[in-house]
Amino acid sequence: MSATTSTATGAAIVGVAESDLGVTNLSILTLQTQAITRALADAGLTLADVDGIATTGVSRFSATQVADHLGLEPRWTDSTFAGGSAYEMMVARATQAIESGQASTVVISFASNQRSAASRRLGGVTEDHTPEAQLETPYDPLFPLSYYAMAAQQYLHRFGGTHEQLAEIAVAAREWALLNPAAYRYRAGSLTAADVTSSRLVSSPLTVADCCLVTDGGGAVVLTSLERARDLAKPAVRVLGYGERTTNTSMTAVRDLTSTGAVGSGADAFARAGVTPSDVDVLEVYDSFTITAALSIEALGFCGRGEVLDFIAGGRIRPGGSLPLDTAGGGLSYCHPGQYGVLLLVEAVRQVRGEAGARQVPDAEIAVAHGTGGILSTHATVVLGADR
């Protein structure tokens, strides 16, 4: 399907890359450096071209830290801290910076060594001065898992679905991972819905197989103006639209656990891009848990309210299906370094460029990357399109 050009932005993604993935025994800054320099090389650019840096997850002063480490003095930085959705938000910020002339070449990056460093904690990290530390953490919910589990429980109760149906998200992700040599579960073989539901319960109804991997990894994407993008090494992938919503930090603020901020972020992004969900060839949504992806697909408008479990059945989201989902294998079977959002963008760009090898979706022209952060707290949607 062809991209409309009237409403699209004036920015494009020109370079993408992953850092080393899996179990690396490397520092965060080494992984960041890998991702950034590889993404620049992909674009035919070098560090000297970079005048904008957007990153988080390094330290309290993430963009400053990365700039220092790479010997840069950027004109523009962004360290928006919004969990896994931050990178989709950064595409919007970077696009605006490029359109306004504040920066010409922006790198968005993330990396984590959480697997090697064993830094992931089931209860999450809370700050003692927040209301949640007094009013929610004392009950020992798993963070963020227990919130997603309560959303799943509510969804299955209200709309009458089963955990087996929900497990299709993990089953399909595995099928995609079997096509991606970089995936953590590349050689793990197929997964069945029964495998998912019979795995060890962690926070009911969700089992360990409903949960994303815990791996090292990272990625980077490089943006510049569309005009300049057309002179660079790879085909430009246009930023057609973006939207975001921020809804809650507490587990009690949102009254309806089954309807997320993706309703608004998606509507804004599609309107700006001048496309609808039916125009989308590839969908990359954050799958921290099976329920995360399911709620996002529905909220973004790919199916009606209460319909997502029927919608994803029958192979629709698997390789060869009509809505290819999380084509690298997702956080569930490819890589999950804690904030997966940047890798959604990397895969979306590769699909639109036609570089995805065995998992390539034929003639992919419009891809959506949708990040979710925290406990369904932050939601950001980016619509990307081929420059045709």
Q: Would you say 13 or 211 has its CB closer to other proteins?
A: 211
Rule CB under 8 A: say whether 214 interacts with other proteins: no
147 is catalytic: no
Q: Is the peptide bond before 205 cis (omega within 30 degrees of 0)?
A: yes
Of 123-131, 169-177, 231-239, 360-368, the segment contacting other proteins by CB under 8 A is: 123-131
By CB under 8 A, name the one of 134, 190, 198, 276 that touches other proteins. Answer: 134
Nearest approach, Cβ of residue 331 and other proteins (Å): 19
The two three-digit tokens of residue 185, written as one number: 């579960």
Residue keyed to tokens 């922006």: 106
- Among residues 319, 280, 240, 267, the alpha carbon closest in space to that of 1 is found at 280
The two three-digit tokens of residue 330, written as one number: 């997702």
Of 90-98, 101-109, 128-136, 221-229, the segment contacting other proteins by CB under 8 A is: 128-136
Q: What is the DSSP string of 172-204?
A: HHHHHHTT-TTSTTTTS----HHHHHTSPEEET
Rule CB under 8 A: say whether 157 interacts with other proteins: yes
Of 118-126, 173-181, 186-194, 321-329, the segment contacting other proteins by CB under 8 A is: 118-126
Rule CB under 8 A: say whether 146 interacts with other proteins: yes
Rule CB under 8 A: say whether 46 interacts with other proteins: no
By CB under 8 A, name the one of 189, 255, 278, 322 that touches other proteins. Answer: 255
By CB under 8 A, name the one of 71, 128, 187, 363 that touches other proteins. Answer: 128
Q: Which of 87, 155, 334, 340 is catalytic?
A: 334
**CA pair distance 54, 63, nearest whole angstrom:** 6
- Among residues 74, 31, 79, 15, the alpha carbon closest in space to that of 50 is found at 74
Q: Would you say 51 or 164 has its CB closer to other proteins?
A: 164
By CB under 8 A, name the one of 47, 123, 181, 305 that touches other proteins. Answer: 123
Q: At what angle do helices 28-43 and 62-69 cross, to 10 degrees?
A: 70
286 is catalytic: yes
Q: In degrees to the nearest 10, what's the CA dihedral of 111, 200, 152, 368?
A: 30
Please, are residues 15 and 349 in contact by the beta-carbon 8 Å criterion? no
By CB under 8 A, name the one of 86, 151, 167, 300 that touches other proteins. Answer: 151
Q: Would you say 15 or 205 has its CB closer to other proteins?
A: 205
Please, are residues 367 and 380 in contact by the beta-carbon 8 Å criterion? no
Total residues in contact with other proteins, by rule CB under 8 A: 39
Rule CB under 8 A: say whether 140 interacts with other proteins: yes
Rule CB under 8 A: say whether 252 interacts with other proteins: yes
Please compute Rg for the chain using Cα positions.
19
- Among residues 344, 216, 213, the alpha carbon closest in space to that of 288 is found at 213
Binding site for other proteins (CB under 8 A): 121-124, 128-129, 131, 133-143, 146, 149-151, 153-154, 156-157, 160, 200-206, 250-252, 255, 257
Q: State the catalytic residues.
A: 286, 334
